[in-house]
Amino acid sequence: MPRTGTRRRTFGNTWWGGAWVEALEQRASVDPNRLPRGRTYARKDTVSELHVGAGEITARVRGSRPEPYHVTIRMREFSPEQWATLLDVVGRRLGHTAALLDGELPEELAAQAREAGADLLPGPGDLRPRCSCPDSANPCKHVAAVYYVVADEVDADPFVLFKLRGRPRDEVLARLRTLRAPDQPKRAKVHDPGLTPKRAYARRVSAVPRLPPVPDIAGPPAVLDLDPPPATGWTSAGLGTLAADAAALARDLLLDGPTAAELTFEEDLVRRAAARPAAELPALATAAGLALPDLTAWAHAWREAGRGGLAALRDAWSPGPGPLAKARACLDDTGLPDPITTWRNRVTQGPLQLRYGRDERWYRFVRAGAGWQLDGPSAADALDVAYPPA
């Protein structure tokens, strides 16, 4: 009886191992009708004595005869020029080498190598298989089985792809070290007594150079070579967002002084939300444990009038009759038929409401559905928000 409850074995469980399988199935001019039978052979563990050498794969595969068939697959090795191109691609970023040493092949590295003409994966004409079986097909099912089993080797160590192109791991790493630290002619040692204390104190103190102007916008963050380990829950995109936000906050500190850093958790959250597109707010609201309508309204208030706008949206307090009387006088001239009402720091007439902030500035709100929405920046005079300039 067939076994139940077991998972079918797959080949190419990393992206680079999967790319090896994909290259065989789509790019390497391998007969696609022969590959399924080879995959079945590989799943039955018929392949043994597998050896991957420089530009060559050898293995034994059990078939219909008592004696296993001998399989040899040669892969076209890179020319010296192609190796120079590939090592230049790897050496451009320290993270590429670090990833390879950690058992990973950066997808960006593979794409750049292919574009430069040094594709690590097999293409048309790169594979030349031979099998001792009588089947004249190319590939026969025994060769195809070896192709799939090699995907396990590529999964375990991406340097297998380098070896199949002609150079083993140690040789590749040695060459990379040479390229990073080329031999330099030795220089004769010159005795330098350095700066003596007497000469140092005799120097005239120069003026402190002027600080450069604050940039108009915060610069973009650096692009990370690698994603953080999956177990951390972080991504390059997420870290890039945090880095961009930190740069924006640093710029605010340069412009506004220490007050820019004296934000509460909610204020800092809203500041970040105000700088992000609307499509990203649902995820941010969920992560912060807030209702999306609240975060959306708070972000709008921050965009209109910053920290004070958020406070005006959320705070209700009693400033005393003086400021409110002036606001009532301003609304008397609007021509609206609605009565003027006053509650705490809010003076309302129909769809218009003026709010007095604890920062002694006025904020204009307009009715939006069942609530109120901040409509523009703040002003020191209630008249300026009641009748904003066109």
Q: What is the pLDDT of residues 336-385, one digit of tens each?
A: 788 999 999 999 999 999 999 999 999 999 999 889 999 999 999 998 88
Partners of 57 in the β-ladder:
52, 73
Domain end residue (candidates: 178, 198, 222): 178
pLDDT tens digits along 317-335: 999 888 899 888 888 876 6
pTM, 2 dp: 0.47
Residue type, 42: A
Q: 249: exposed, middle or buried (C-beta count within 10 Å: 0-12, 13-18, 19+)?
A: middle
Please state the rounded mean pLDDT for residues 275-284.
90
Closest of 322, 380, 317, 327 to residue 354, by C-alpha: 327
Gap between the Cα atoms of 139 and 36, Å rounded: 11
Confidence of residue 258 (pLDDT cuts 50, 70, 90): low
* DSSP, residue by residue, 26-56: IIS---TTTHHHHHHHHHTT-EEEEEEETTE
Q: Identify whether residues 247 and 371 lie together within a single domain.
A: no
- Residue 380 neighbours by CB under 8 Å, 6+ apart: 360, 361, 362
Name the residue range of residue 291's domain: 235-303
Cα dihedral 343→347→352→353 (10° resolution): -70
219 domain-assigned: no
Task: Assess whether 353 and 292 both reside in one domain.
Answer: no
pLDDT beyond 50 at 198: yes
Query: What is the C-alpha to C-alpha distance for residues 332 and 346, in angstroms, rounded to an integer?
Result: 15
**Domain stop point among 303, 335, 350:** 303
Query: Average model confidence (pLDDT) for the chain?
Result: 85
pLDDT in tens, 51-92: 999 999 999 999 888 899 999 999 999 999 999 999 988 888
Are 170 and 101 found together in one domain? yes
Q: Are residues 168 and 33 in the same domain?
A: yes
Quick one: 141 and 249 in the same domain?
no
Helix (H) or strand (E) holding 73: strand 69-75
CA distance 81 to 101: 24
Q: Are 44 and 37 in contact (CB under 8 A)?
A: no
Do 331 and 245 have their domain in common? no
